[in-house]
Structure 1
């Protein structure tokens, strides 16, 4: 997919902002507006309507019973939103997910998007407040569709949100980075706007208060005053609650980034439930001078969501809380100011942020082109931003360390591949020769197997802790290496497993004995090819054979295992056709051939692999 256009250039930001605000006054039956433009290039903008009902922000469904309202993402809609290393789905706000599912069920979104795609126009999804959350899910939905049909010629969609709440958790953020989709999202945030921070607090316990706040934030109350509200204490309480929860989360993330060993912070999450939601994409923060400062680091954005809310000593809490609601409705004004200035800055080198404006070694305006004082960042805030940058830098170093071991892994795999060729020449086959362990070459192969297991387990542990860049698992060279490793080495693990009769104590290899490293690299490959889970399981072939051999040794009747036999034969035919299995599988004295020849004659005569077996 191509990205030939920067949505921050030109007047597209203003157009999206105006349409997002205009969508609020659209018909309740209409979930979004559509407008087409011809410059700076042919495009269609989908602007989603906001919702001021608490039911659309926090779901009453008690499963899962979470005070933050998160739930596992719909895998049928968003198959890419999961962690490959930890094999867990992303979590999203359940109310947002169900609202988007209802929009899809209407059918209009799918039809309109299909029309615009057919016209080869750029698609931009946008929304203000709740509408921003809908535009985020719509963008990911379309990205999934483009990838599903391998539509590389399609220009990627963009998403511009204004005052949007957070949508998903850390896995959600990680997945978008891994797929390279984070670059499609731009979130505009006013310094004091409370709505982008609202999901940092447990809303399930204060749904009535949330409804009152949303009612006050509705555009038709734009010109209300504190006197008219008559409930300034509620607004102040809600603001302080969000501020307190944002502080706890910021402290927790900062301690993790700084490697704090204080046991208090290690047990904090066991006693205090912290929000699972995390920012992703590019966050464009407005400064007091009408400029935009752009951040991409998720932890840095999380810290800014807290620190930009800080009160000045002379300000009253109620006044600031009220101002935060009014600021939520002033994006169109700020966007016009931005267009007049035409000035925005990307902050990439967080570890170089100076701790003081008087830092003569690295003045922030010289380094970044912006004065961080415009964001009211104190020394503590700057320190946390630097820690977030250092953490990302450390992840890059970890990746470089493994890249340095890449050739070592390749060399070990070459040795094992040579061993496999030698086994075939000897006439017994790779799997069966290793299982017997009769020659010194078999012992050397086992040493290589164990060395590689240590290296890959080290990678897996890094992935489990998210200590590698999010993009690591999608790097083509590592996906290829992981696939080669699985195809060459896993048969040896299976041989070792059944040679020592581990199945008698632990159970079948696939269900109970398969190491996580093989499951992980298999998911890498399947995700890269957009394959359904389990379709690339040829490296487990010998485990399937061994399980059927066990059934035969236990005198299980053919009728009881007939379905398993037919399924294996269909897989063998497909894998042999696609060169996924070696020719040694068909050797007349292989474990597979001996097992197959013992099947009933009527089955063998009608088998889909009968011709293959006759060649063996």
Structure 2
């Protein structure tokens, strides 16, 4: 099937940005603050608030670049995700931000009252602090609904690591960089040095947000982190030691005059693929031809292929609407409910039907399991990529659905695990992380209510799912313990351990029964639980010393028939 061609609009977007007044207005405020600083005695003020119009507020930061490594900070712990458990910030930027903390706290409170456009901007290290302040404003979302901050930096060095790169607020940051400014790549290794290991791809400084890269020839926007990082390395190595006093005002005026798209027809002739042609055109516009990039170990064709693959994946994901996907998930869950109901006819329950794979119907269920697992693994991955507060809000909406999915589908995973007779200990050796997280989040966020009476649960018990989604894993381990005890090769130590496990299993099962937390289908004649009971009952009847427990009494007096 022919693929729809992709196009790169980086030049058009860049021209649109510079043609607007927002970027130029932000730079004007920075110049005003810089002039005020030179006129004032120490200590200087590193930021100022401007109101160029009744509907626009600009907060400008300025400071000279500083050296520094990456360090963690409790102030930005809210950026942590399940996937990236730490976020490190440039020491110089963090030190300056911390020194201004009291003043910025007052400003943050004042900004909660404004309406209209809010621009946070800064130059050099001031741009780094502007980025940190913008992130800090976004935490908790205390601003008015129509006052979403937008951050514009000029010649700002990178401020964070891989964790910051995956911030969900990337679209709110625009970084303006000249190809003659060494400061943005200040903390990067030489552009001529290729990565030495895969570890280097996830450590050290990483770009985030959109970059507007500028040259005398024109400008272009990029948001692909690997390409941005490579270009910053090239700039840093080629202009290192040069002047850091880049005239961004002159650059913006020049670009505004060139805002009419003229194109580079010779590029289009060399490439049949419009996406590749667009990227090459944009790079040549800002002074990066393929020869120069290769000199710095950047194979632009490889980078473009990765960019195109990611763009196509995103396009394909967007084609499947959420509504359609949810309908498919509901359909698969309905099919499993029907499978569970029909399995009772065979007197063994859906867990054992799936484990035994006795009919074509059981094989069809495998596809439902795969579909549902793929969907929920994706949902959990989305939560892991969000900052903790955002993730908590996101997952609360899905807690109940995730709980039902886990209780319905995880038993099928357990059945598939123990179908292989060589496998043991599913909970530690086979359980998927997404099940663990769904259970953890549910237990953290859902508290039992006083009205959740046992009598009410008893009335509904006939249709419930077993609450512990790992119940059947405990059953399978109990069966293995019984088989080991009956084995002639069982050592004294193994026997003691197996017996202790069985005693604990008895207590666990009776606790679940007492809470009406298990489905009645566990007592069906051909279920694995009843298989365990047959093995265990035979073993305890042959023991010289009698053993009694509430579970044994419950089972031997057939109270479980009343439970059903």
Q: Which TM-score applies when normalising by structure 2?
A: 0.60
Residue 303 of structure 2 corresponds to residue 388 of structure 1: yes
Q: Which residue of 1 aligns with 2:95?
A: 99
Matches within 5 A, 1:87-166: 87-89=83-85, 91-96=87-92, 98-99=94-95, 102-103=98-99, 106-146=101-141, 153-166=145-158
Matched, 1:282 2:278: no
Equivalent residues in 2 for 1:451-490, closer than 5 Å: 451-452=370-371, 487-488=404-405
Hey, what does 2:180 align to over in structure 1? Answer: 192
User: For each residue in 1:404-450, what CA deviation from the matched residue of structure 2 results, as whole angstroms up to 9, or x when unmatched?
Assistant: 7886996475144233156358889xxx9322328758724642255
Change (3 A) 1:556 1:92: same
> Residue 340 of structure 2: which of 399, 406, 423 is its match?
423
In 2: Cα distance, 1:537 partner to 1:448 partner: 34
For structure 2, the 5+ residue unaligned runs are: 1-15, 449-464, 479-499, 524-528, 530-548, 551-562
- Tell me, in whole angstroms, the C-alpha distance in 2 between the residues paired with 1:185 and 1:446: 46
- Aligned residue number for residue 538 of structure 2: none
Quote the offset at 1:37 in angstroms: 0.7
Structure 1 residue 102: deviation in Å? Answer: 2.3
Following TM superposition, by how much is the alpha carbon of 1:166 offset from its aligned partner in structure 2, in angstroms?
A: 0.9
Distance 1:534 1:195 in 2: 45
Question: How many residues get paired?
Answer: 452
Q: Residues of 2 paired with 1:121 and 1:98: CA distance?
A: 29
- Aligned residue number for residue 537 of structure 2: none
Residue 297 to residue 51, structure 1, CA distance change in 2 (3 Å): closer
Q: Tell me, yes or no, if the aligned pair for 1:159 and 1:184 is still in contact at 8 Å.
A: yes
Native 8 Å contact 1:45 1:126 kept in 2: yes
Compared CA separation, residues 95 and 163, structure 1 to 2 (3 A): same
- Contact 1:200/1:277, CA 8 A, preserved across alignment: yes
Q: Give unpaired runs (5+ residues) of structure 1.
A: 59-68, 202-244, 253-267, 312-319, 467-472, 570-583, 601-614
Name the counterpart of 1:491: 408
Alpha carbons 2:176, 2:211 under 8 Å: kept: yes
> Which residue in 1 is equivalent to 2:4?
none
- Kindly report which structure 2 residues correspond to 1:170-569, keeping only aligned pairs within 5 A, or say none: 170-173=162-165, 175-176=166-167, 179=168, 181-201=169-189, 245-249=190-194, 252=195, 268-269=196-197, 276-288=204-216, 291-308=218-235, 321-323=240-242, 326=243, 328-330=244-246, 333-339=247-253, 342-343=256-257, 375-381=286-292, 384-385=299-300, 387-399=302-314, 411=328, 414-421=331-338, 423=340, 433-437=349-353, 440=359, 443-444=362-363, 446-449=365-368, 451-452=370-371, 487-488=404-405, 491-494=408-411, 496-497=413-414, 507=425, 509=427, 513-518=430-435, 535=445, 541-543=467-469, 553-555=502-504
Contact 2:425 2:473 in 1 (8 A): no
**What is the CA RMSD across the aligned residues, in angstroms?**
5.9
Contact 1:490/1:540 (<8 A) preserved: yes
* TM-score for both structures, normalised by structure 1: 0.55
- Map Cα deviations across residues 565-590 of structure 1 (whole Å, 9 max, x no partner): 9xx98xxxxxxxxxxxxxx9676666
Cα distance, 1:125 vs. partner?
A: 2.2
Distance 1:38 1:547, change over 3 A: farther
SS, match of residue 423 in structure 1: helix
2:546 aligned residue: none
Distance 2:171 2:211 in 1: 11
CA contact (8 A) 1:130 1:164 kept: yes
1:9 aligns with 2:9: no
How has the CA–CA distance of structure 1 residues 354 and 546 changed in structure 2, closer, same or farther, with 3 Å as cutoff?
A: farther
